[in-house]
Amino acid sequence: MSATMARSIVEAHLHEACCDLVADVARSHGKVQLRVAGASMVPVLWPGDLLKVHDCDPAELEPGTIIVFRQEERLIAHRLVRRAADTPGADLVTRGDARPRFDEPVKPADVVGRVESIQRDGRLVHAQPSAWQRIAASILRRSELSTRLFLRLGPKIRNFGVMKGVPAGSG
């Protein structure tokens, strides 16, 4: 076995162990905090935002809620769009706000929790997109170039969703 293959196997096991640990902490303590690493939920979630994720019953989740779930040995924070069927225990249909396609169906057992709050630079952020954020997400869904440009402008525009005058911990 090559060193590269061995490293890939170790990394895969490490990612899986991290997902297990986060899910265990959410279940045993009722909540966990995670830092956003990707850009699939821009403009509502930006890389570096801090999410407070609460354990939940997947059957009680409502469309529009941002949830954290396990998929392919990674943790994903995307918005719940709908259930695949109107039956208890049905798979969940999710999508990142800036992604053109829905994710693979999410099994209720893979849900880690629901995002209860978002912090950016010490301030709370609205989880529901504003009108400008919905328009921006619609554009970003259609163009990778737009997404790259939007992320480069990030420092100038990322605080539009911040609740003015509401420091984290007071909301």
Q: How many domains does the chain have?
A: 1
22 contacts: CB under 8 Å, gap ≥ 6:
32, 34, 75, 112
Place of tokens 């911990």: 169
Least confident piece of the model among 52-61, 71-80, 136-145: 136-145
- Domain CATH code at residue 77: 2.10.109.10
pLDDT of residue 145: 86
pLDDT band for position 152 (cuts 50, 70, 90): confident
Work out the average pLDDT over 64-83.
95
Residue 70 CB neighbours (<10 A)? 20
Work out the average pLDDT over 145-154.
83
Q: In the predicted model, is pLDDT for residue 170 greater than 70?
A: no
Task: Give residue 55's domain range.
Answer: 3-167
